[in-house]
Amino acid sequence: MLSLRAMFFFGSSMRRGFTFFRSFLFCATLATAASAQPAPDPGAAEKQFAQMMASEHGLDAAAVLETLHRAQYRQSVIDTMTRPAEAKPWKDYRPIFVTQRRIDDGAAFLEAHRTLLDRTGKQYGLPPQMIAAIIGVESNYGRTPMRYRVLDALVTLAFYYPPRQTYFRSELVQLLLLHSAAFPYAPEDLMGSYAGAMGWPQFMPSSVAKYARDGDGDGKIDLWNSLPDICASIANYFEAFGWQTGAPVALRASVAANARAIDPKGLDPVYPLQQLAEWGYTTDAKLDPATPATLVRLDGEDGPEVWITFRNFWVISRYNKSPLYSMAVYQLSQAIAAAARTP
């Protein structure tokens, strides 16, 4: 603290020195008062959330708050969320999922559960190899450890990850509403991914609510241990988004030297094949020229790749909106089907 002698150097008189000293004390008092104000309540957002669950969904606010307090903050969830695999180029992304081991394991899975997969595929109109590919990518045929409690992951992302907190709070809402006779699990007992996705299909709570199915008829949905439930849920998901049985997914495009440069902003198939052909993008497949499609450009191992993609490619992307994901699932499914047919 300044001494009185030091303060007097700021003025030529005792009065001016005293005035400065009094101002100094006043500012110091204000700073002390400001620092003494209570910090924002870290549980305020949780309390508001609990009250919302009570007013909008009829749950007991105290019980909701108690459930939230049982969650643990997981910094690894935030860290992983900031470095998704989909940020990689295709040449680096593809080797993560389309590997010889995953192909062989997928073919073995397809053969081991052929009756179930054929029955489910026929019921929902989805090729069995596509069900196998989704399971392979999402959980490596059940081998990927479920390291996180779903409650921990969703509470961490809902309250400590501002970039997507609206989405994850909506998933937390759905998690707390899932408990029922068909889904009789306590939220804190559910295990999943760093993003709160559950079971072999890696369904978020909203997907469980809308698309999960009881495939074995035991009255419960078990996405961790019941293959009939797992397969039926995946197939129902695809059917719900409009999978077209027997229709193409993606075809490598031949690009003319003078092709028109177009840059589609999404995966919606908005261009008739005939239009793409007129612009210089063609395929050898014999398809109706009016078939809706779009273009996807990928950074492949041997250079740029241009693909013509269709409605079914878009359907795969409902699982994960990255075109890299859709292409990995599609190519893995094709490789699994080929390997399963090979003696």
DSSP letters, 159-202, are: HH-GGGHHHHHHHHHHHHH--SSSS---GGG-EE-TT--BTTTT
Contact predicate 192/150, CB 8 Å:
yes
Q: pTM for the full model?
A: 0.85
Distance, in Å, from the CA atom of 242 to the CA atom of 149, rounded to the nearest integer, reads: 32
Contact predicate 144/197, CB 8 Å:
no
| Residues 157, 91 within the same domain | yes
Residue burial 202-216, b: 16+ Cβ < 10 Å; e: rest: bbbbbbbeebbbbbb
- Per-residue pLDDT of the chain (343 residues), as tens digits, is 333 333 333 343 433 343 333 344 344 443 333 333 343 344 899 999 999 999 999 999 999 999 999 999 999 999 999 887 778 999 999 999 999 999 999 999 999 999 999 999 999 999 999 999 999 999 999 999 899 999 999 999 999 999 999 999 999 999 999 999 999 999 999 999 999 999 999 999 999 999 999 999 999 999 999 999 999 999 999 999 999 999 999 999 999 999 999 999 899 999 999 999 999 999 999 999 999 999 999 999 999 999 999 999 999 999 999 999 999 999 999 999 999 986 5
Domain around 147: 73-240
| Residues 163, 284 within the same domain | no
On whether residue 61 sits in a domain, the answer given is no
| Residues 281, 142 within the same domain | no
| Residues 99, 138 within the same domain | yes
| Residues 211, 104 within the same domain | yes
Q: What three-state secondary structure class fits 122?
A: helix
Question: Is 239 tagged catalytic?
Answer: no
66, 138, 171, 305: the catalytic one is 138
| Tokens matching residue 10 | 């700021």
